[in-house]
Amino acid sequence: MNKPIPFQKNDYVQVEFEDLTHDGAGVAKVDGFPIFVPYGLPGEKANVKIIKIQKGYAIGRLMELLLESPDRVSPLCPIYKQCGGCQLQHLSYEGQLKAKEKHVRDVLERIGKIKDVTVYPTIGMEHPWRYRNKAQVPIGEREGGLTAGFYKKRSHDIIEMEKCLIQQEKNDVLVQTVKNICEKYGVQAYDEKNHKGTLRHIIARYGHVTGEMMIVLVTKTKELPNKKRIVEEIVKEIPTITSIVQNINEKRTNVIFGEQTKVLFGREVIYDKIGDIQFAISARSFYQVNPEQTKVLYEKALEYAGLTGEETVIDAYCGIGTISLFLAQKAKKVYGVEIVPEAIEDAKRNAELNGINNVEFEVGEAETVIPKWYKNGITADVLVVDPPRKGCDESLLKTIIDMKPKKVVYVSCNPSTLARDLNILEKGGYKTKKVQPVDMFPQTAHVECCALLIKK
């Protein structure tokens, strides 16, 4: 029998928070019934208003803090509570790192049923601000002028934003400069309600090591009004700009990019480096947004792979070849597979750029291509996976179990699906030896991990 819900909507209850959810809200319980409350921290007592009741939990609003956590800090960002970009600015950085480690431990035990595994403390950043090398900013109109900012939580209302404390400063300057120039030349913002107007997004990309900069103007129309003048003025205002491109997205969609991209100034790509490897980044390339911590994560993957130069490695979900090229420095041969054709083109270009010729890349679903390789006699000593948030496809996990590589290195951006997949691999004859959380996204609730599994 279901227990009765101990309160009603709009009731005020006094609670003590005991944990954080995967997206950073405080967790409290009243008679065993969970309430999730944004901005609550473990150990705090508070008065909370119940604003929504769902089947197995309620959502509350923090009304008054009665006992504060010693880890609570004042958020540095003035629009922190309106913007949905960060979730943990009210928690000290040390507190964030501990919370992320705890979250990884908890899901490994609860979802993965894995108890005896070493989970190391989260590797954080010395300066956990201004780390994002890519800004994707939607454009709207307000009182006849353009507005650039981020969407308000759970809405498509744009909050005006001149600087974002987790964005690289140069990207803030690029976005504001370009917005002002477009406004001066009468460019209209795209209106998603009536599917009219021109400018949808301004995207800025910055090479962390090289300092190269790219601007992408995403437009609904094929033509950008006053294009020549706009480009000339951007180059005049930002003489160090490397690349200005226009991406055309004519569809009624909330997907940012369209299929067609044309160069308006400079090169089609900018270059950046992670460790010793150089990467060419186009407007639509997937490239990790925190290169400093990406290096930490990939070095950990390389360390866990323990390569001697004799191994064949398969990199499932290889993207633009970031991990593959790292591994190729120490492996005999690396095979990479990725479903996005443009990413594979980038991967091949990046291998050529670095003079790395012991890698092969193929377009397709990992769960289709890897069994085909296996049939053709390609087996891996080490298999590396870095899947999207939904984790590995079940048929890929089955192929890994059939292929029996000595080691599996699992790089994950979602501890819950990591735990689920590790459980399947453990049942298939693997043992999870160690897991290293890495803080790629300070001030947010996200955490990346690198896990090592050994064939039993």
CA–CA dist 317, 413 (Å, integer): 13
- What local confidence, expressed as pLDDT, does residue 159 receive? 87
Q: Confirm whether 79 is domain-assigned.
A: no
- The CATH number for 397's domain is 3.40.50.150
If you average pLDDT over residues 279-301, what whole number do you get? 94
Do 139 and 248 lie in one domain? The reply is yes
Q: How far are the Cα atoms of 108, 326, 434, 453 from residue 120, in angstroms, in the given order?
A: 13, 23, 8, 15
Q: Are residues 122 and 139 both part of a single domain?
A: no
Among 25, 49, 67, give the residue marking a domain's end: 67
The answer for residues whose C-beta is within 8 angstroms of residue 237's C-beta and 6 or more apart is: 177, 181
298 shares a domain with 439: yes
Q: Are residues 445 and 380 in the same domain?
A: yes
Cβ neighbours for 296, distance < 8 A, ≥ 6 positions apart: 123, 438
Say what the pLDDT of residue 153 is. Answer: 77
Residue 377 CB: number of other CB atoms within 10 A? 6
State residue 2's pLDDT score.
67
Average pLDDT over residues 131-140: 96
- Is 262 part of a structural domain of the chain? yes
Asked if the model's pLDDT at residue 427 lies above 60, the reply is yes
Q: Work out whether strand 260-266 and strand 243-248 pair parallel, antiparallel, or are unpaired.
A: antiparallel
- Are 63 and 204 contained in the same domain? no
**Residue 154: per-residue pLDDT:** 74
Q: Which amino acid is at 89?
A: Q
| Domain termination residue (choose one: 274, 299, 330) | 274
Residue 155 has pLDDT above 80, yes or no: no
| Distance from C-alpha of 396 to C-alpha of 452, rounded to nearest angstrom | 17
Residue 384 binned pLDDT confidence (cut-offs 50, 70, 90): very high
**For range 412-422, the mean pLDDT:** 98
Q: What average pLDDT does the segment 77-93 reach?
A: 93
Q: From CA 182, how far away is CA 141, in angstroms rounded?
A: 12
| Confidence (pLDDT) at 157 | 84
Closest to 446 in 3D by CA, of 14, 73, 23: 23
Q: Are residues 309 and 410 in the same domain?
A: yes
* Residue 22, domain CATH: 2.40.50.140
Instruction: Give pLDDT tens digits for 15-30.
Output: 999 999 999 999 999 9
Give the domain range for residue 325: 97-126+290-455
**The two structure tokens encoding residue 247:** 């991406």
Average pLDDT, the chain: 95
112 lies in a domain?
yes
Which of 225, 243, 274 represents a domain boundary (last residue)?
274
Q: How many contiguous H segments (helices) and E segments (strands) does the chain have?
A: 9, 22
DSSP-derived secondary structure letter, 451 = E
Residue 5 is assigned to a structural domain of this protein = no
Q: pLDDT exceeding 90 applies to what percent of the chain?
A: 90
State the residue for tokens 């993957």: 301
**Is residue 141 in a domain?**
yes
Q: How many Å apart are CA 74 and CA 53, to the nearest integer?
A: 29
Q: Is residue 89 part of a domain?
A: no
Same domain, yes or no, for 176 and 269? yes
Residue 304 sits in the same domain as residue 385: yes
Count of the separate structural domains present in the chain: 3
Q: Clarify whether residues 181 and 267 are in a common domain.
A: yes
Q: What is the pTM of this model?
A: 0.93
- Within this chain, do residues 20 and 112 fall inside the same structural domain, yes or no? no
Residues 305, 421: one domain?
yes
Question: 77 lies in a domain?
Answer: no
Q: Which of 161, 355, 193 is nearest to 276 (CA)?
A: 355
Angle between helices 366-375 and 394-403 (to 10 degrees): 20
pLDDT higher than 70, residue 1: no
Residues with catalytic roles: 413
For residues 223 and 365, membership in a common domain is answered with no
Domain contains 3: no
CATH number at residue 231: 2.40.50.1070
Average pLDDT (398-409) is 95
Q: What amino acid occupies position 123?
A: I
Rounded CA-CA distance 168/206 in Å is: 8
243 forms bridges with which residues in the sheet?
Answer: 214, 266
| DSSP collapsed to 3 states, 220-289 | CCCCCCCHHHHHHHHHHHCCCCCEEEEEECCCCCCCCCCCEEEEEEECCCEEEEECCEEEEECCCCCCCC
pLDDT value at position 392?
95
Beta strand 333-338 pairing with 359-363: parallel
